[in-house]
Chain A
Amino acid sequence: MKIAVCVKQVPDATVHKRIDPETKRLDRSGEGALNPTDLNAVEEAIRIKEAQGGEVVLVCLGPAKAVDSLRKALAMGADRALLVSDDAAAGSDLLATGKALAKALEREAPDLVLFGQASGDGDGAVLWAAVAERLRRPVISQAAELSVADGAVTGKRQTEHGYDTISAPLPAVIAVSDAINEPRYPSLKGIMGAKSKPQETLSAGDLGLDAGDVGETGSKTSVLELGPPPSRGDTVKLEDDGSAPQKILDYVVERRLL
């Protein structure tokens, strides 16, 4: 069983995120980390491999320094990493990103493609469905449980209304929910071993993509302007001295909320 996990580098949680007013893109110059929900996909892939054997390949589109983040997933137990990195690909929207990832995945031809559910920088929240469409493979998203057997994958999808159990023949594309598992911490042995695991970096051209397929030229959406969000008024803060319930009630009654 060959499993590809699509992962992404996002600004580290400790970095103050900003959008560069010049390029209107997210400033990715600071410390990066693997998108937290991608770790659930990596964990699930490793569990399937541990149970059934096979290989786990990380596939990532991002800047060259994304290799630092990929190392963490290798330390968890992934076998190797493929990074598609190209200056021409910077600023790719959903369409262009989907195109590039699909090309990389075609090259790997995995039985199963896994995605985490939403990226921490607000991008790519719907990427899996676009990639599945390009690969012409069935897709199951928001999977809170997953099982792979007899050439088919079955996922329990969390929806607004409850749970749907959906089955699809392999090869298939699955986006897992972050409720699916608790990602492991890499062991010391894993961390040491990660350094010698194969990491390959390819350009858009290596995948047979034209410069016009990716980046802003390959995108069909654009960022026009940045503005401040609608602001909230001042916060009233108080410590409870026993009178808080009355104060809360007065506050909401004054604002005609009751």
Chain B
Amino acid sequence: MKFLVFLEHHGGELEKGGLGALGKAASLGEAEGVVLGPGAAEVAAQAGVFGAAKVYACEDDALAAPLPQPRVDALATLVEKSGTDAVLFGASVLSADVAAGLSARLDAGLNWDLTDLVLEGEQLVGKRPALGDTVLVDVGWTGGPRFALVRSGALDPVESGGSAEVETFEATYSDFSTLATLLEQTQEESSGPSIEDADIIVAGGRGLGSPEAFSLLEELASALGGAVAATRAVVDAGWYPYATQVGQTGKTVSPKLYIACGISGAIQHKVGMQGSGTIVAINKDPNAPIFDFCDLGVVGDLHQIVPKLTELARSRRGGS
């Protein structure tokens, strides 16, 4: 089976979500990648290390801004030209829009929120946890090309040490595709390691009581070598940056250890972190839903527990 993987890039680096999908594609069949936008050809070469045999690059100025519709035009041309059986996307705000637009353009099926892809004989099957991950659904396509959006954080990039041939291509654009224009872009930088890359995450919710209490979590994260994340409620309240938001409307993370502090465990948060290896929850409400899906649940006051835990973690680090 021949795969084409849409590789998003940001600041000269390919995004992890696309690279994870690329590794999966390479394990299932022939994997090719596609990178779009000015500078694409140079960034494209990185994909060889992660399993792409070939990477298509289109450097058109129409693809400079991170907008979905010109990307639909470019990919539609390429999917037809390259004769691919399946197109994979790592989920992001941009990729989701591109995948859905392309699906409508080519009248092809799109399955999304997949955590894995397997081949059953010649058939491509997607694994999709549904209903708050209470059921695992096997999904398929009735024909090609098959489009798949992979849940963010579900597949890790695999370095294979290969190299990719880069081929540039030209695209033509629909009249309506270039109507939307980017006026301004503001980057939100969070300090410390990014939550997608961290092995340990210390996350805070409304139970912190105030934005200032995030400093307790930052100290614990620093003692553990981890990153700080937040729930939607506190991001909406302006307590912590959106870049750190975990959940349905934020990022999906799967660290080895997730320490949830003052987080009730609403479904919208749960879907973003339940893939974590070990979940420790600290909450003063013994009936908080998070106690139903954590590994270690502590009923208590995080304002007492977290500083002591930080101290213990620091002295353990210092002593060992």
Contacts and interface: CB of A to CB of B under 8 A. Distances in A.
Interface stretch (A46-54, A65-73, A105-113, A127-135): A127-135
Nearest to A178: B249
A167 B280 contact: no
Contacts of A19: 130-131, 135, 137
A222 B236 contact: no
Contacts of A258: 224, 313, 316
A223 interface: yes
A219 B280 contact: no
Nearest to B15: A160
Nearest to A182: B236
Interface string B256-290: 11010000000000000000011110100010000
Contacts of A228: 135-136
Interface in B237-269: 242-243, 248-249, 251, 256-257, 259
Chain B interface bracket (under 10, 10 to 19, 20 to 34, 35 or more): 35 or more
Given A160-B243, A229-B129, A240-B301, 15 more contacts: A125-B113, A126-B149, A129-B101, A137-B179, A141-B97, A162-B186, A168-B179, A220-B142, A222-B142, A224-B140, A225-B138, A228-B135, A237-B291, A239-B300, A245-B312
A161 B179 contact: no
A246 B312 contact: yes
B178 to A, nearest CB: 9
A139 B196 CA distance: 28
Interface stretch (B19-27, B46-54, B63-71, B158-166): B63-71
A95 B107 contact: yes
A164 B185 contact: yes
Nearest to A126: B100
B297 A237 contact: yes
A159 interface: yes
Interface stretch (A185-193, A201-209, A249-257): A249-257
A161 B131 contact: no
Given A95-B109, A139-B69, A245-B308, A235 B295 contact: yes
A162 B185 contact: yes
A184 interface: no
16 contacts: A94-B109, A95-B109, A121-B131, A125-B112, A136-B176, A139-B69, A139-B101, A140-B180, A164-B184, A165-B185, A226-B137, A229-B129, A235-B296, A240-B305, A248-B305, A248-B309
Contacts of A118: 248-249
Contacts of A158: 93, 242
Contact of B295 (A132, A154, A219, A232): A232
B188 interface: yes
Interface string A53-66: 00000000000000
B181 A166 contact: yes
A-B residue pairs, 10 tightest by C-beta:
A240-B300, A220-B109, A126-B100, A129-B100, A245-B308, A221-B109, A162-B188, A133-B104, A130-B104, A138-B180
B213 interface: no
A122 B131 CA distance: 7
A69 B147 CA distance: 32
Contacts of B111: 221
A1 interface: no
A34 B94 CA distance: 26
Contacts of B179: 137-138, 168-169, 172
Interface size class of A (residues with CB under 8 A): 35 or more
Contacts of A163: 185-186, 188
Contact of A162 (B131, B136, B187, B297): B187
Contact of B292 (A177, A178, A221, A235): A235
Contacts of B236: 179
B134 interface: yes
A77 interface: no
A131 B94 CA distance: 16
B267 to A, nearest CB: 9
B265 to A, nearest CB: 12
Counting chain A CB atoms within 10 Å of each CB, the highest count among B69, B113, B251, B304 belongs to B69
A189 to B, nearest CB: 29
A131 to B, nearest CB: 8
A79 B96 CA distance: 31
A221 B298 contact: no
B93 A159 contact: yes
A117 B94 CA distance: 14
A238 interface: yes
A95 B243 contact: no
Nearest to B189: A162
Interface in B44-100: 65-69, 72, 92-94, 96-100
A59 to B, nearest CB: 17
Contacts of A18: 131
